[in-house]
Amino acid sequence: MVRLTTISNILAGIGLAILGFSAVLKYLLESLGTADTAFPFYTWIIAAVILGIVIFMSVITTFSEMTGFVHPEDKLVSNMFVFLITIGTFLMFGILDEGELYQSWMYNIASMMMIAFVFLFIFVFFSATITEGGDTGQVKEMTARFMLVSLVLGGILAGLKLGLDLIYDTYFYESAAGLLGIISVALTVLIVMFLGRRYEPVGE
């Protein structure tokens, strides 16, 4: 039986391809002098609908076992595609709309998704060290760790946000969105590859 994660991965790949086609179609029509057509937006809507379906599938496979047991690595790779197509969908809407306000919104939304991912990865990865002693009532010691960790983590996230804002302020939206997309892909793939090398017990 074909797993739901496999179908989700295929749909996510199709969605990413459609987003790329939307961009190519937009610039192709502009070069032909027919930039006022809504065809690129229609293809974006198709990608957005696919995104909704993929997110629904991902929620089912990640938070339930309605479709049976799914290996953690399969979930990891599948949700990586979900994460990337979501960021790509928002960024592409900014490219198609060309309104400065919408572009700012779309870029900020995609940026916050990337920052939230980095935050959760760092926090969860070091959660055992951060929360050590909390289950035995050592709240003061755990809070002391929180204070130091919040300084380091806050500095990392602030630096990431500052860097992304500088990219947006320095380049045109298309270039800034492209750079954010590259950064998102690079960070996500590196984290997934790093976690893929770690051993974790697998439940049945």
Q: In which region does residue 98 sit, left (phi positive, over 0), alpha (psi from -120 to 50) or beta (all else)?
A: left
Angle between helices 72-97 and 39-63 (to 10 degrees): 160
Domain boundaries, the chain: 4-196
Residues 123-157 as b or e (16 or more Cβ within 10 Å = b): eeeeeeebeeeeeeeeeeebeebeeebeeebeeee
pLDDT in tens, 82-111: 898 899 999 999 888 767 778 899 999 999
pLDDT in tens, 115-156: 988 888 887 777 777 776 656 667 777 778 888 888 888 898
Which one of 142-146, 184-188, 190-194 scores highest in mean pLDDT? 184-188
Query: Residue type for 98, please?
Result: E
Per this entry, what is the length of the chain? 204
